Structure 1
Amino acid sequence: MKAQHGKLNSRISRCRTARDRSACAGWFLAACFCVCFSSCAKLSLPAIDPSGQSIFLPYPNSTQVRPIVSRDGQPGLLPAPAFTTPPTPPPCLDGSTDSSGFCNLLDHKKGHIKQKFENLHSSPGKAGEIQLTPLRVVAPVGGEVVLMAGICGPDGHLVNREPLEWMLSPDSVGTFIEVGDDQTSVLTSLLHPRDPKVEKLDVDFARGRTSHKATKITRGSPQCNDDIELREGQTWLSISSPSEGISRVTVLAPESQIWDRRRQTATVYWVDAQWQFPQPATARSGSPVQLVTRVTKAENLVPAEDWLVKYTIVDPSVAAFTPATGGNELIAKVNSDGQAIANLVAGPNGRGTTAILIDVVRPAQPSDNLPELRLGSGQSLVTFSAPGLALQAFGPQQGALGEPLTYVASLGNPGDVDVENAQLRMLIPEGTRALSVVPNAQTQTNTGIIWDQGTLASGRQLDVEVVLEAFRVETFQVVFEARGEPSLNAQKTVGTEIVEASVEARFEPAGGIAEAEVGSTVLYEIEIKNTSRQTLTDLRLLLESSPGLPEASQGQNTVEQRIAVIRPGETHRVGVNFRIQQQGQHSASLKVLTGEKLLAEKSSNIQGLPARPKQPDIGISIEFPQTIQAGSINNAVITLRNPGEVKLTDIKVNLTLDPSLRATQVDRDNLSRFQLGADGNTAVWQARDLLPRLSGDSGDMIWQLFVTLQSRAAVQQGTLRVSVTAAEGVQAEASTNFAAISRTVDPPAPVTPPAPTERTGAWRLILNGLGNPTTVNKEYRYALSVRNEQNQIDRNLHLEMRLSEGVRFLGVTSNGATVQHRFGSDGTITFPVVNSVRANEQLEYTIVVVPTVPQTMLLRARAYSDGRPEAVETLEQTTVNPQ
C-alpha cells in the first residue's frame, strides 16, 4: 500500500501543464477510492498519452487493470508490472563522469537532499541576537521616546520578517504609544501570509515584526533633523510618560533559541525639567561677565531648586571664575528663582574669546528612585575686549667706532580696542649721537627721542628707525619704552658692544722681487687679516700707484676693491697686476678703510729696468719604447716646446726612421702637415706657430705629433732621429734607440727599461666663495683652483661655469690678468681652452659677480680635457640677504 502511494505521488508530482494537473487530480481521487475499498473488481489508472504532448490522456481515458495478483499468485492490491524490473544501477561515486552531479544529489547515502531542504527551511532568526538602541535615555515628561530593535543573524546581517515582543516592566511608569509596522502591500501579504502580526495588545505589551525594507520615521514636524532612519531588518516602538520615573522596556525575539542573547532591556528616565542656556556675552577687560542658566519644571512654572549646572571654561587664559575655583570648572546650584549663576573675569591674556561648556544635572533625590542624571549639554561664548601694547626692538650686537649703528623698533596694538595717548621713547646712551631718525619725532634731544602717536588703533603699529654713531669703546644699552592708556607699559633693551676695528695688511710683489723689465706685468699680493673681535663688513681697499705703474687690466693708477665680510681672525687674499711702463723707481700704496676711517696703510717700491731683447728658443723630444717585437705596431710621440720669449714661426721638423720601421698612420690634427718622403725612411712635419709662455704660466707652450710605426724586422739597435728649425734662427734635435726582438728567437738580455708611465688621478676643482653670506647689489668673488693630479701632461683643458638666475657676471681674472670668456645660448660661461697643463700644475681664477635678488646663489664649474673627457664638476652655494 505504501509503495502504491509512493508511485502515485511521484506520478502526480511530474505533472507539467494545467491539463495534466487536472487529469492527475482526477485520477488520484479515483485511485484512492478504489484502493481504499478492496472490494473493487477492476482498477482504472490514467492512460499514457502516446503523442508525447503530455504525460497522460485526459479523463475519461483510462487503463483497465486486471485483477490484482501478487507475485506468489495470491490476490493483491497492485497489478503485475508492464515491464521487467531493470537491473540495479551501480552506486554513485564522487568524481564520476556525470559532471552535473545529479547522481550524487539523489543518492540517499550522501544526504545532499536532506541538507538542502534543511537549509531551505531553517530560519536565521532562530540563531539571532537581539539588538536594541538606545539602551539608556533621559527624556522630558510628556515627550515620546522611540526605541529601535532588530535581530542580527549568524551571518552578521539583520533578519527581516521576524517576530519581536515588547514588554514594559510592572514597576515602570509610562505606556506604549505606537509599535512600528512596515505596512506591507497586498501582494507582499499574499506572498508572505505567515508574516508575524504587528499589534499593540495593551499599554505595556506589543508584538512587532522586523521590516523587510528601509524606511524613515517622521515625527510630523517640518524639520528633517528629528527624523529617524530605519534600516531593513529593524522595527521600532514609541513610549511616553506623563510623570517622572523610570520605564524599563524589554524586547524579546521569541523564536531565537539563544536564550542569553534573545532579549535586551532599555531604560528611560523621565524627568520633569526644562532649561535655557545663556546667550553669548561681551565685556571690556576688567569688567565681570555673568552667565545665567534657567532650569524649571512643572511646565516651566516651578524652579528646579538645588539642581546643578556645571560650567567649564575651554580656554582658561581668556577667562576665569570669580571667586576663583582653583580650576576651569564651576558647579552652581539652581536657586529659588530657577537660576544657576556663574561670574567670570578676564584671564591672564586679558582679552580674547572662549567657549563655556554647560551641563544641566538632576541630582539623586530620596523621594524617587532616579539616579543622578545629566539632562542636557550646551555652550555659550564669552569675549573680553582690551587694548594692548606689543613692543619689539632690534639692533647690532657689536659695532665699531665711527661705524653707523642702525636700530629699529615696532610698537603695535594687538588688542581689539584702541590705545589712547600712545607714546614711544628711545633713550640715547651717553657717548653716542643720532645720525638719522625715521619718522621724524615730535621731541628729540641729546638724551632721547619721543614719538607721540596719540590714538593707536587696534591692529595698527608704529615703525621707527634710528642710526647712531659711537664715540668710545664700551657696551651701550639702547632702551625703548612704550606707554598708553589705560595703564599700558612695555620696554625693550638692545645691548651693543663697541669695539675698535683693526686689521693687519701685507702688500708686496709676488716672490719679493724688487725690479722688473719695462713692459712686464708684476703681481702684487694683498693679505688683509681681521685682528679685531668683531666681523667687519664692506671694507674698501684703495690702491694708488705712480704714473709709470698702472693697473694692468684697467690701465688706471687708482683702483678700488671691496671686501664684503671678513670674520674675526679671518685672512682675505687678493692679487692685483701692475704693468711697468717706464724705467726707474715706481711706488704703489694700499689703504684699508671702513667708511671713512683708515684701518691700515702699506706701500711698496719696484725698479723698472730697460727691456732686454727677447730671446727665441726651441726644444724637441721623441718618445718610443726601448724594446719592441718584430712585426708589432707602436706609437712615437714627438713634442715641440717653446721655452723662449718670442713666438716661433715656420717650424719644420725632420724625422728620420730606422730602416726596420715603416710609418703607417699620423694623428688627425697633424695629418695635413705631415709629409712622408719617397724613400719611406724620412718625413717632414710642418708644425703650427708656437707662442711663448704667458706671464705667470708655469709651463712651456707645446705641440705634439703622434706617428704610428710598424716594425718590419728584428734589429738589435735601431734609431729614431728628429731635428727642428724655426724662422727665428733656432734649432734643436733629439734621438732615441730601440731594439726589435724576433718572435721565434729568445731576446738578448736587455737593459731593464724604465717602468711605463701610468695615468692616475684626474682634474681637481676647488671652488670657494670669499665671504658667506653676502647682500644684494654687492660685488662677490669666488676663488677657483684647477689642478692636474695626473702624473703626466694633459691637453686642451676646457673650463665652463654656470650661475643661477638673478646674478650679474662681471668678469674673471687669472693671476691678475683678465681672462677672455664667451656666453653660450644656455647661459654657460666658457673660458679659453688651455693647450696643455703639466702634471701637478695648478691654475688659479678669481670670478667676480653681483647678485641682484635675495636667494641662495649657486655657481657650478666643470672641467674636461683630452686625457680626461669625463667632466669633473663642483658647486658652491652662497646666501644672498636683502640690503
Structure 2
Amino acid sequence: MSAATKHTDKMQRWFGTRRFLIPLGLVLAVSGCRSFYDQTTPPPATVGVPGAVNIPTVDGITPIATPPPPAPGAVPPPPSAPPNPPLFGFFDSVGMGRAADARLTLSPQSIVAPVGSEVVLIGGITNNQGKGAVSERVDWMLSPESVGEFMAVDQSASCFLLRFPSNRPRKVNNSYAISSTTTARKAIGRGTATEQDNVVVEKGQTWVTVSSPTDGVSYVTAFAPNVPAWDLRKQNAIIYWVDAQFSFPAPAIAPIGERQTFTTVVTRLSDGSPLEGFLVRYRSTDPNAVFAPVGNPMVEIATDAEGRASAQIYQPNPGRGNTQIQMEVIRPAGRSNAADRRLEVGRGTTSMAWTAPGVSLDVSGPASSSVGSQASFQVVVTNNGDMPLQDVVVSHRVPAPLEFVSSNIQATKDRDNLQWNMGQMAAGQSETIVVDYKVRSSGSARNCFSVTSAEQVEDQACIDLNTTEAQLELNVSGPTTAMVGQEVTYRISITNRSQSALTGLIVKNTFDEGLKHAVAASPIERDLGTLGPGETRDDISVTFQASRAGKLCQTVAILGLGGAETKQSICLTVQEQTLEPALKIQKRAPSTGRVGETIIFESLISNTGNAPLKNVTVIDTFERGLEPTRVSDGYKIEEDQLTWKFAEIAPGQTERLQVEVQCKEAVRACSRVTVTADGDLMMADEACVQISQAVVTPPGVVPPVTGPPTVAPAGPPATPGPVAPGTTPSPPASSQADNAESGDVLSLRVTDLRDEVPIGGTVVYEVTVTNLQNVPDANVVVVVTVPEGLAPTAGGVGIVAPSNPNIGQRVIRFNPVAEIRPGESLIYRIPIQAEKAGQFRSQIRVTSNGQRRPLIKTEDSSVFQDS
C-alpha cells in the first residue's frame, strides 16, 4: 500500500469519527467558511440574465433584447435560496468532480449584448444523472484578442482553511479568474427592487460576469481541472458586444386606402448618436399588406444618417383588416472590420389597422295583408363598420295602401314621410325599429327604408306587400296594464266589409295561462250567427282576472271564412301588488266668516293602502286671524303647534280631527295640517277662510239668532303635500289624477294648492312625477317656467324637492334625480311669489332617459288686488 493510500485511509477514518465535528465547527466559526450555508454577495445591478430573452436566434446567436417587466402573474418570481443543507449533505457531493462521468457545462454559449452591460456566464460540473459536484474549481479565461474583462466572480465557496491558497476563488486579473461550484441552490440578485430578474444558480454551479465598453467579441473559456475527461472539462462562450439601441414604431390606425409609414430609429447606446447603415427588416403577416415600392411582404431598409429606417405599407386591395408587422434590427457584416459577421441585434412587433365606417339595413314583414288589418315590419339598422357613426337617421315614405299607426321608437312625421333619429351608434351596434301600419286599401306596395349618417355612409332596403280586400274587420280594445288579482275587460268589434251577408262565423279567443276566465279555460269560442253587409257587432266582451305577474297575451280570431281567418293579438303587462300603506288627508272648513264668529276646521286622515300606517303624527297650524278655542281629544301642544299622535291607522280607517276657532280680524287666513308616518310618508293640505268685518247692529235692533257655524261639506280630496326628499310614497288617489300627462315611462301631475292669491302672496305648485313602468328610469329633470307677474321666491325659500334647484330669472331647474324606481313618485313643492294682479299660466316640463319626448303641463293661477 502506498503512502498516499495510507494517508487517505487515515483521513477517511478521522473524518468518519464524531471527534471531527467539534474541531471542524470551531474552524468554521473562525475561518469565514460561510460558503457552506450563506449566499454570495450579489453582483452589480447591471448583470444580464442569461437565457431570459426568448427570441429566436439568427445563425445560432441570441440577439440583443431587453426583456419587458413581466405582467402580474405571468412570470413567477424565481425561488429564493433554499434553507442551508446539513453539513453532512455537503460531503455527499464532495469529490464528484473527479468521477469518470463528470462533465463541465456552460450557459449561454453564444449571446449578443449591448456594450456596458454585464453578461452572467454560469458553469457547472455534473455527472450523468445530473447531480452537481460541489466545491470544484473552475478556471475562467478571456482570449488575448477578446474585448472586455471579467467583472465579478463567484466567491461563495471561499473556505480558506480547507483548500490550498491557489484554489481560492478570486479574480486573478481582468482576463483570468478562479471560482468554485456552490454547495447549495441560491438566487443572485441584480440590486433591483424586484426579485423577478434574479439569476438562479443551482447546487454544483458557479458563475462569472463579463462586460465590455466597446464593440467587439469576447471569447471566454471555462476549464475544470479536476474533470478527468479532456473532452468534457472545457467549454467556450462567445459574447458579441454591440453599441446599439433601437426604438420600434407604435401601432397605427388609418382609413381604408391610405398608406402608412413605419419608422425604426437606431442609435448608439453609449452616447445616443444615430447609427447609419444598420438594416431594419419589416415583415407583414398579411398577404394583402405589402411594402412600397415593389409590393413585397418583406423589405429591408438601411438606416440613414439620422439612424432612421422607414418603410411604407399599403393594401393592393383596400379593405378592413388588421396586420401584424414583425421587425428585426440587423448589424451588417464587416461593419467594423472584415471579420465582423452579420448579427440580428433585436426584434419587435407592431400592427396596422385599416378601418372604415359602414351601415346596413334589413327589412322583414308580411308579404300580404288584408284591408283593415294591421301589418308590422321590422327594420334592423346595423353599424357594420369598425368605428362609431354619428347622426344616424332612418327615413321612410309610407306607400299609398298603408297608414302609419305607431313604432317602438318615436318617429318624426311630415305627412307621409317618417324619420327615426338614432343618434350615435357604436361599431357593431344594431337597433330594431318595429313599425305598425293599418292597411287602408287593396293593391301592391313597395315598402322602402333608407339610412344615412354624418360619415356619408348609407344603405337602402325594400320589401313588397300585396294587400287585398278584407271580408271582416276586427278590433280588440282593452287595458294594457294591471295588478295581480285585478279584473280586466276587453271589447271586441267585428265589421263585415263585404257586399254580402256572412254566415257561420265563430269568434275564438286563445289566451295565456295567467289570464283566468270565470267560466272556461283557453280557448273559448262563440257563434256569431249571420253578419249582414256593412254590419258591425260591438256588443262582445270578455273578462279575465290577472292571476300572475308578467306579460300575458290573448289572440282573437274570426273563423268560418273558407280556411282564412282574421285575428288580432293584444297583451297585458301585470305587476305584483305590494302591501304598503297609502296616506290621504283632507282639510275642510267654511269658505267665509266674520270677525267674532266661531267656525270649525276639520281634518280627515285616511289610510287608503293595504297595510297599516305606523307612528302617525298630525300637526295643525293656523294663520293670523284665526284663534283655536276648542280641540278634539288627544291633542298636545308641541312647539306652539296642535299635535296628535297615533300608533297605527289600519287600512281603510279614517281619523277625524276638529278644531273650533274664532275669527279675530278681517283677513284671508288658512289652516294647514301636515301628517307624517313611518316609511318617510308626509302629506299636507290646507283650507282657507275669507274673514270680513262683523255686522254692526243698529241700536234697538235685536240681531237674529243663528245656529252654530256649519262645516263645509266634504269635497274632492285635496292634492297631497310635499314628501321629504328621497322618499317614495305611492301617489294617493286624487281628483287631479285625470289631469296627469303620461309618457313612455313617466306621468306628470301639477296641482295649484292656492289658485287665488293677493299681490304679494304665494302661489304653491305641487308637481308629482311617477314611474308608470316596471323598469327604473334615470336622470329625471324638472323645469318650471313662470310668466311675467310671477317670480320664484328669493333664493328658493320654501322649496321642498328631491334635488336642489337652480334659479335664474323666471326659470327653476332642479338638478337631475339619478334614478326613479318602478311605481315611485317624486314630489316637488314650489312656492311662487305673486308680483301683480291678473291671470297667469306657468309651464312645467319633465325629461328623463326613458322619455323620448318631454312631458309638458301648464297651470293657471289668479292674482287679485287686495283691498
- Tell me the TM-score normalized by structure 1: 0.39
Larger Cα Rg: Structure 1 or Structure 2? 1
- Tell me the TM-score normalized by structure 2: 0.40
